[in-house]
Amino acid sequence: MERIRFEFFTMPGCPNCLSMEKILNSLQLEYSNMDLEEINLIDYPEEASRYGIMACPVLAINGKVAFVGGAKEKDIRQYVEALA
């Protein structure tokens, strides 16, 4: 099974970011092929520019923006399953 790279763009104080972080941490326990990197946009603004991010949270999967704003676990799971 190929590795799946998740880039999770967040900012301090973002309530939707906290919800998505819990979902991603849960999924990471299930998918052994999942690499998760959390990127704080305050510390790394160049990453926001690279993806054209204007708000957060944002989830990029394998280098493509997949979700902007809050996302439900079932939607992220469905996206990941489609990659398999």
Domain coordinates in residue numbering, the chain: 4-83
pLDDT of 78 strictly over 90: yes
Q: pLDDT at position 1, please? A: 65
Q: pLDDT at position 2, please? A: 87
Task: Judge whether 35 and 3 are in contact, CB under 8 Å.
Answer: yes
Domain 4-83 has CATH 3.40.30.10: yes
Task: Judge whether 41 and 69 are in contact, CB under 8 Å.
Answer: no
57-68: per-residue pLDDT in tens?
A: 999 999 999 999
65 burial (CB, 10 Å; 0-12 / 13-18 / 19+) is middle
Name the band, by pLDDT with cuts 50, 70 and 90, for residue 54. confident
Q: What is the pTM of this model?
A: 0.90
